[in-house]
């Protein structure tokens, strides 16, 4: 039993972390399937933004309004109609 659990753990740890994964550990990021512009807008208005380019379902809680993002060093990047706010870190 212990060996099975150990093996399982090793397997999980062996998975290569995709970009933005570390943000999940801080509880500031979630992966969401957003299908409409309205949902996206609602998330943005509540301080949630997409911060990892090409990681579409990845949303990060920034807690800022969109117009304040550049003041905090976020770089706007529009890829395939999706606006990403890339963090300087």
Contact region for Zn ion (CB under 5 A) — 2-10, 50-58, 60-68, 80-88?
50-58
Please, are residues 11 and 5 in contact by the beta-carbon 8 Å criterion? no
Check residue 40 for interaction with Zn ion (CB under 5 A): no
Shortest approach of Zn ion to residue 27 CB, angstroms? 12
Q: Indicate the helix (H) or strand (E) that contains 48.
A: strand 48-49
Q: Is 54 in the site for Zn ion (CB under 5 A)?
A: no
Contact 77, 53 (CB under 8 A): yes
Q: How far is the CB of 72 from Zn ion (least distance, A)?
A: 20
Report whether 53 contacts 82 (CB < 8 A).
no
Q: Which of 17, 19, 31, 54 binds Zn ion (CB under 5 A)?
A: 31
């Amino acid at each position: 039993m212990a060996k099975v659990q150990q093996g399982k753990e090793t397997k999980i740890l062996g998975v290569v972390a995709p970009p933005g994964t570390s943000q999940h550990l801080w509880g500031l990021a979630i992966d969401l399937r957003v299908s409409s512009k309205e949902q996206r807008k609602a998330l943005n208005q509540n301080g949630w933004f997409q911060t990892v380019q090409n990681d579409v379902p990845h949303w990060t809680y920034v807690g800022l309004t969109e117009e304040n993002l550049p003041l905090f060093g976020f770089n706007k990047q529009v890829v395939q109609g999706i606006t990403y706010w890339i963090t300087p870190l």
